[in-house]
Chains A and B, each alone.
Chain A
Amino acid sequence: MKNNFSVQSVDIRQLQNTPLFKGLPEADLLVLLKQSHPQQVQAGGFFFFQNDPTDRVYVLILGRVKLTQSGLEGEQEVLMQVIGPYHLFGAVALTQIPGYLVSAQAAEDSAAIYWERSEMMPTVSTNAILSINAIQMMAVHTQEFQERFRQMATQRVERRLANMLLKLASQNGVKTPEGILINMPLTRQDLAEMTGTTLFTVSRLLKQWDEKGLVISKREQVIIRYPHGLVIIAEDITL
């Protein structure tokens, strides 16, 4: 765990690519950065819990954060999103919504910077670029979740799982000699929570696909060996 993480550790050039800050003049971003506060959370720890008051908006700098949502009945959690470096989380703190919609758990040792709602809101509401970017972010988010909802409602689980693996690979994929490695810790439980199915079904499907040479499925890692084969399943292509 880095003992010397501070606001100075942040790479301003990468911060300029964070969707909320796109197009913001560097001088303005530097002022904002100086107002931020560092926070480190060890693997397994939480930045915030679902329903906690929405006090802070975060940008992850190091590590990886899982955003999960529970219903009221203690049923299986849903893994909404995995956040990587220089992406925002806790963005509901920019809205009137009083409680976080998800819990934010560090999947690895993580470090983030945050702004208190009281610090960030005046800036966002008076800065046209930040306001437009915030709207854009929410629209992209809605688009993704509408698509996932549509898939959940209309597609068999094989297609949903194949689609999720392809999406993760297109966002976090690294080409290796064995195939396209999804470059983040990814358990079968995570996949079950992201696609609305059970661990049993995910294990069964990954084992089948591994045997067919489509994927290499290890305990916390998935490599797509034959992307085209997975695309055929995901898009239900009849040959």
Chain B
Amino acid sequence: MIDTFYFSPELTVSDLLGQWPQTIPVLLRYRLDCIGCRMASFDTLEEVMHNYGLAWQSFEADLRSAIQES
């Protein structure tokens, strides 16, 4: 159980959404298809970066600010 705000690239999408539902708007803003995706329990954030061609640093920063602002 990760209880700090540092996100590991190995975190699965479903774990991210389950533990931090505040990040849902971030995923929607990036136009990711993760919400409701059947592969959410398998795909890691690293794989999402690769699938969508995103940069980890800015994405992770956006996730963190979604938590801090909530």
* A interface residues with partner B (beta carbon < 8 Å): 166-167, 169-170, 173, 175, 180, 224, 227-228, 231, 235, 237
Contact = CB atoms under 8 A, between A and B. Distances in A.
Given A231-B33, A235-B33, A237-B33, A167 B38 contact: yes
Nearest to A227: B39
B14 to A, nearest CB: 10
A231 B42 contact: no
Contact of A170 (B33, B41, B47, B51): B41
A144 to B, nearest CB: 13
A180 B40 CA distance: 12
Contacts of B47: 227-228
Question: What 3 pairs across the A-B complex have the smallest Cβ distances?
Answer: A170-B38, A228-B51, A227-B39
A43 B29 CA distance: 50
A227 B33 contact: no
Contact of A173 (B33, B37, B42): B42
A188 B43 CA distance: 25
B8 to A, nearest CB: 16
Interface in B13-70: 33, 37-39, 41-43, 47, 51
A166 B42 CA distance: 11
Contacts of A228: 39, 43, 47, 51
